[in-house]
A and B are shown apart, each in its own frame.
Chain A
Amino acid sequence: MRYRRPPESFLPLGTDALMILLAVANEPRHGYGIIRDVEERSARAIVLQTGALYRNLKRLNQDGLVTEVDAPRDAESHDTRRRYYRITQLGTEVLEAEVKRMSTLVRAAKQVAVGRKPRLA
């Protein structure tokens, strides 16, 4: 069996990588779909550029966090030429670990804000 990196070893994820994983977490999307999803999800605060997108996709694909899938049946005809991406089991675990890490950070940061000593556990 291939060696499987523990999910924590991918942390912290870059913003772009995190947004991409979120975009393909529930349904397969093609590249442009991911760009739109990131824009909507971040209320246009984050604009994913194509270069950054495919560089990250290549990397995430290599690392086994996302995988290419066939176009869904309901896709528009011209979209069938496109590659679709979906999160993998490992990707989901990395995403969960990252969200957990971030929420821990956020909780700790809030404690600082109200004058307590933060604990990162």
Chain B
Amino acid sequence: MTVRPHGILARGFIRSLLGLYPREFRATYGAEMRSDFLETLATRPCRRAKLRFLAFAAVDAVRSAAAEHAATWGQPSLSSLPPSRSHPMNGLADDIRFGARALRRRPGFVTAVVLTLALGIGANTAVFSIIDAIFLRPVAVREPESVVAVFQAVSSKSPHGGVSYPLYRAIREQSRTVTTAATTSHQVSVKGPAGIEMLNSAVVSGNYFDMLDVHPFAGRLLADADDGAHGASPVIVLSHALWRRWFGADRDIVGHTVTIAERRYTIVGIAPPTFRGTELADVPDFWAPISMMTSLGIGGLFAPGMDAEVFRTPAFSWVEPVARLKPGVTHAAASAELNQILSRMPRDHETSSVEEPPIKTPMSVMPITQSAALRDREALVRFVRLMFGVVLLTLLLACANVANLLLVRSSERAQELGVRAALGAGRMRIVRQLFIENTMLAAGGALVGLVVALATVRALSAFTLPGSIALSQLALAVDARVLGFTATVAVATALMFGLVPAIRASRLDLATFMRNERASRPGGLLRSTLVATQAALALALLIGATLFTRSVRAGLTTDLGFDPHPLAAVTVDLRVQGYDRVRTLEYYREAIRRLRRHPEIAGVAVASHVPLARTFSLPFKAPDAITARARSSMLVPVNAVSEDYFRTLALPVLRGRAFTAADTSGGQRSIMLNEAAARVLWGTAEAIGRGLVLFGGTPYTVIGIVKTTKYESVRDEDRPVAYLPVGNDFGSGASIVVRSDSPRAALRTLQSELAAIDPTVTLRKPRLVGDQIDDVLMPQRFGSRLFAIFSLIALVIACVGVHGVVAYGVSLRQRELGIRIALGARPAHIYTVVLRDSLIAVGVGATVGLAVAIMASPALAAFLYGIKPLDTPAFIAALGALVLAAVAATSAPARRASRTDPAASIRVE
């Protein structure tokens, strides 16, 4: 027969074609199909006709086999099926059903993907909810876009100053563009149900709530009637949070009283839970009328007799007005009108400055959505951007990892997808199918991610952002916007991690598929690239983590100018306890006397401020200062201290003398300065004996100069400080400090001795001063925690990725490795080969990550203390961690590879 020479080829060909069909179909019809095929082939007269027949037969086999496979999945198979099945939406429903079924078959894969995505999506959701609460909806009032903060520039460098009370009144009465209300916030000691507490108070004008259109949760809010005579309206409105904390959400509390600065205040109402004031850094615990400001004893400075001074002096800009633009008024129009109003005021309402040119238009307005987080705003924005960068890197890493998992899986799914393609599914249809599956995975990731987000927010709630924004004070909520964000991220994620594998899958090579063999190394380069990407991202995060950690360590070991570690302190607020000045000084003296008796206590002192805590500043002027600013008014942090303070803290008095009993008794008005303050005021000239005038006109004489120390933060550089004799109580009480070689024991002695003097006095914040450094290093600690968490996640994800890829690579190379071993390669050599391959990918990634970190590190500089952003040990530590992790992730599959049984691996094929 003439077909003989082609016979063997033809038989092999049909056998491979038959191999495409489902087993069942082949068993039923295979034999007949083979003989029919061969007989038909035999009737073809020439070689050309035979080849033509074979080609058509191949196409027919692929189509028929695909249809038969599809039929076993319950898919439409014959063209004679009812037309309604081909409706596009039905196809979509089919795809979804099919996707769900396909995923259900792979629970392990689905779990890995969903968890990886949940980490990435959850972290992003958490950070978005923070951004949402700070930048997008910081203030819960009606139409926040028409509410503005009003500022008067002090200088071109500080454009966001407050206004004086007379100027505020003028704006309120004259403006036709804005409705203005006054606010100012301070910390006040209040005796609540749980003892003495420092609370944030907001003092507001009566129209404040009305202007913002905030309605009471219970009782009433403040009204114009509360703006009467000074001290005539002792009423307060509690925040919802304080009400719940103090009174366990008891509505009947309205009408009850609390004691603040020896006066009883009636609780007239409770603010709604959403309303947290107009400034995020000072979320008020309660609101009081502005008429009660001096009665509240705010800042200790505004004693009841000082009403005239506080409300009439044009030079004292303590009002922070908020205003609502009238309909149709632009920000520019409002600013212009406010400047006109200012220009009609007497000259002394303008801030003059010799060093800087006068500002032509000092008045400005800013949307409340911006001004709500104004303090340290640049640092805040940078920090939030940093956080977002970190979580975005984590998400990218998660995507890279999932893409890798999908790539490995797609080669396993090649047969199924090939059948679908052969059945006539277009590339779009296959891409759609895969996209639907990916979206389902991403949706699962988003759902679990919400849980991760809630946990993340909770884990971060102890931290404070730059600008004193405590995360625990923010109205963080999973609302529609956050959910919308999460959904968007999920879809974007599905596109990101799924697109490349989907396109690859849709390009499936039918010829490869027909030979019924797996592509030898599909996407080897692509997978290596993804591993490199993961390594790069993980390294960038690791470097951030090591930089911050080293920065915290540097901060902890920094030279503060004094040693905080032997010091322990406790704070009392005697005025709130009903003590007058004389009894207060007696209490302090008695405390010092009792504590001195203890041999283990090397020193005792009283101070209104113990370093490394928030400061309190007062305005001073020095008539003979070298700068015009200091000649008019200058805010200087003040500390009222007892005679032994400098000895107790071991602060050297450089020139002049320390306070004596004579100073403390109030006979002389003496003041001490640190070197930095003296230099700012008088340059290099001798400061001893010069005069300083405190706001309100009290004159002081400089008697001593003290070494400059870190005062509020370890980042302080030459911060000026003024020391006054104890007895100048600034409203937040005073701390009793002891020095001891065993500060923990001394702290206990301190507490028991104070309790012995007067058991009714609340002892606030018993603390080791050394621990306060931790609080001061808040941004660094936050950064270090943030990076530590996410770099760890990144490292784990990257390790999973590396492990998966290497293991898969080894499984593909099993035959090659088997042959190598059969030819005499030693296991150690195989181990090295596998390790080398993965380390090359990791190394390339690390190089990229290093470059990224070097480029990005200047952005971190603002948050680092004591180290440079290009800190070599930090970089080396991070790189070391990455390489170790990569080796660990590779070693298991590499060891397995080195133990390949050559005979078994060759038999596999």
Interface residues of A (CB under 8 A from B): 10-14, 17, 30-32, 35, 47, 49-59, 82-83
Cβ contact within 8 Å between A51 and B63:
yes
Residues from chain B with a CB closer than 8 A to the CB of A50 are 33, 36-37, 40, 57, 60
B324 to A: closest C-beta gap in Å: 72
Cβ contact within 8 Å between B32 and A55:
no
**Can you list 22 pairs linking A and B with CB atoms under 8 Å apart?**
A12-B80, A13-B80, A14-B78, A17-B80, A31-B36, A35-B40, A47-B53, A47-B56, A49-B60, A50-B40, A51-B17, A51-B60, A51-B61, A52-B60, A52-B63, A52-B64, A54-B25, A55-B77, A56-B78, A58-B29, A59-B78, A82-B35
Cβ contact within 8 Å between A51 and B78:
no
Q: Which of A32, A56, A82 has the most CB of B within 10 A?
A: A32
A62 to B: closest C-beta gap in Å: 10
- Closest A residue to B82 using CB positions: A9
> Is B79 an interface position by the 8 A CB rule?
yes
> Is B28 an interface position by the 8 A CB rule?
yes
Within 8 A of A (CB), among B45-69: 53, 56-57, 60-61, 63-65, 67-68
Cβ contact within 8 Å between A59 and B77:
yes
- 12 extra interchain contacts, Cβ-Cβ under 8 A, other than A51-B64, A83-B32? A14-B78, A32-B39, A35-B36, A49-B61, A49-B64, A52-B64, A53-B33, A53-B36, A55-B67, A56-B78, A58-B28, A59-B77
B317 to A: closest C-beta gap in Å: 89
Q: Mark B12-47 against chain A: 1 for CB-CB distance below 8 A, else 0.
A: 000001000100010011001101110110000000
Roughly how many angstroms separate A17 CA and B81 CA in the complex, as a whole number?
Answer: 13
Cβ contact within 8 Å between B32 and A82:
yes
Roughly how many angstroms separate A55 CA and B25 CA in the complex, as a whole number?
Answer: 9
Cβ contact within 8 Å between B36 and A55:
no
B97 to A: closest C-beta gap in Å: 23
Roughly how many angstroms separate A30 CA and B28 CA in the complex, as a whole number?
Answer: 14
Roughly how many angstroms separate A31 CA and B30 CA in the complex, as a whole number?
Answer: 12
Q: A55-B64, A59-B78 are in contact. Are A49 and B32 (CB under 8 A)?
A: no
Main secondary structure, interface of A, reads helix
Residues from chain B with a CB closer than 8 A to the CB of A55 are 25, 64, 67-68, 77-78
Cβ contact within 8 Å between B35 and A10:
no
> Which of B35, B65, B80 sits near A51, CB closer than 8 Å?
B65
Roughly how many angstroms separate A119 CA and B60 CA in the complex, as a whole number?
Answer: 38
> Which of B33, B60, B64, B67 sits near A31, CB closer than 8 Å?
B33
Cβ contact within 8 Å between B35 and A32:
yes
Residues from chain B with a CB closer than 8 A to the CB of A30 are 32
Roughly how many angstroms separate A53 CA and B57 CA in the complex, as a whole number?
Answer: 11
Residues from chain B with a CB closer than 8 A to the CB of A11 are 80
Cβ contact within 8 Å between A14 and B79:
yes
- 5 closest pairs, A vs B, by CB? A51-B64, A49-B60, A54-B29, A51-B60, A32-B36
Roughly how many angstroms separate A30 CA and B32 CA in the complex, as a whole number?
Answer: 9
A18 to B: closest C-beta gap in Å: 10
Cβ contact within 8 Å between B80 and A14:
yes
Q: Which of A51, A52, A56 has the most CB of B within 10 A?
A: A51
Cβ contact within 8 Å between A32 and B80:
no
Q: Which of B56, B67, B80 has the most CB of A within 10 A?
A: B80
Residues from chain A with a CB closer than 8 A to the CB of B68 are 55
Roughly how many angstroms separate A46 CA and B32 CA in the complex, as a whole number?
Answer: 20
A110 to B: closest C-beta gap in Å: 26
Cβ contact within 8 Å between A58 and B32:
no
Q: Which of B29, B77, B79 has the most CB of A within 10 A?
A: B29
Roughly how many angstroms separate A56 CA and B509 CA in the complex, as a whole number?
Answer: 27
Roughly how many angstroms separate A14 CA and B67 CA in the complex, as a whole number?
Answer: 15
- Closest B residue to A14 using CB positions: B79
B168 to A: closest C-beta gap in Å: 86
Residues from chain A with a CB closer than 8 A to the CB of B17 are 51
Cβ contact within 8 Å between A10 and B60:
no
> Which of B25, B53, B65 sits near A58, CB closer than 8 Å?
B25
Residues from chain A with a CB closer than 8 A to the CB of B77 are 55, 59
Residues from chain A with a CB closer than 8 A to the CB of B29 are 54, 57-58
Roughly how many angstroms separate A51 CA and B32 CA in the complex, as a whole number?
Answer: 11
B34 to A: closest C-beta gap in Å: 8
B514 to A: closest C-beta gap in Å: 13
Roughly how many angstroms separate A92 CA and B53 CA in the complex, as a whole number?
Answer: 31
B448 to A: closest C-beta gap in Å: 44
Cβ contact within 8 Å between B35 and A49:
no
Cβ contact within 8 Å between B80 and A10:
yes
Residues from chain A with a CB closer than 8 A to the CB of B63 are 51-52
- Closest A residue to B78 using CB positions: A59
B813 to A: closest C-beta gap in Å: 36
B17 to A: closest C-beta gap in Å: 8
Residues from chain A with a CB closer than 8 A to the CB of B78 are 14, 17, 55-56, 59
Residues from chain B with a CB closer than 8 A to the CB of A10 are 80
- Closest B residue to A53 using CB positions: B36
Q: Mark B69-102 against chain A: 1 for CB-CB distance below 8 A, else 0.
A: 0000000011110000000000000000000000
Roughly how many angstroms separate A55 CA and B64 CA in the complex, as a whole number?
Answer: 7
Roughly how many angstroms separate A32 CA and B60 CA in the complex, as a whole number?
Answer: 16
B153 to A: closest C-beta gap in Å: 84
Roughly how many angstroms separate A57 CA and B29 CA in the complex, as a whole number?
Answer: 10
A85 to B: closest C-beta gap in Å: 11
Roughly how many angstroms separate A17 CA and B77 CA in the complex, as a whole number?
Answer: 13
Residues from chain A with a CB closer than 8 A to the CB of B39 are 32
Q: Which of A47, A55, A58, A82 has the most CB of B within 10 A?
A: A55
Within 8 A of A (CB), among B516-540: none
- Closest A residue to B37 using CB positions: A50
B90 to A: closest C-beta gap in Å: 19
Residues from chain B with a CB closer than 8 A to the CB of A31 are 32-33, 36
Residues from chain A with a CB closer than 8 A to the CB of B28 are 58
Residues from chain B with a CB closer than 8 A to the CB of A83 are 32
- Closest A residue to B59 using CB positions: A49
Residues from chain B with a CB closer than 8 A to the CB of A52 are 60, 63-64
Residues from chain B with a CB closer than 8 A to the CB of A32 are 32, 35-36, 39-40
Roughly how many angstroms separate A8 CA and B393 CA in the complex, as a whole number?
Answer: 62
Roughly how many angstroms separate A54 CA and B65 CA in the complex, as a whole number?
Answer: 11
A33 to B: closest C-beta gap in Å: 9
Roughly how many angstroms separate A17 CA and B78 CA in the complex, as a whole number?
Answer: 10
Roughly how many angstroms separate A17 CA and B35 CA in the complex, as a whole number?
Answer: 21
- Closest A residue to B56 using CB positions: A49
Residues from chain A with a CB closer than 8 A to the CB of B56 are 47, 49
Roughly how many angstroms separate A105 CA and B874 CA in the complex, as a whole number?
Answer: 83
Roughly how many angstroms separate A56 CA and B63 CA in the complex, as a whole number?
Answer: 12
- Closest B residue to A12 using CB positions: B80
B56 to A: closest C-beta gap in Å: 6
Roughly how many angstroms separate A71 CA and B36 CA in the complex, as a whole number?
Answer: 16
Roughly how many angstroms separate A52 CA and B65 CA in the complex, as a whole number?
Answer: 9
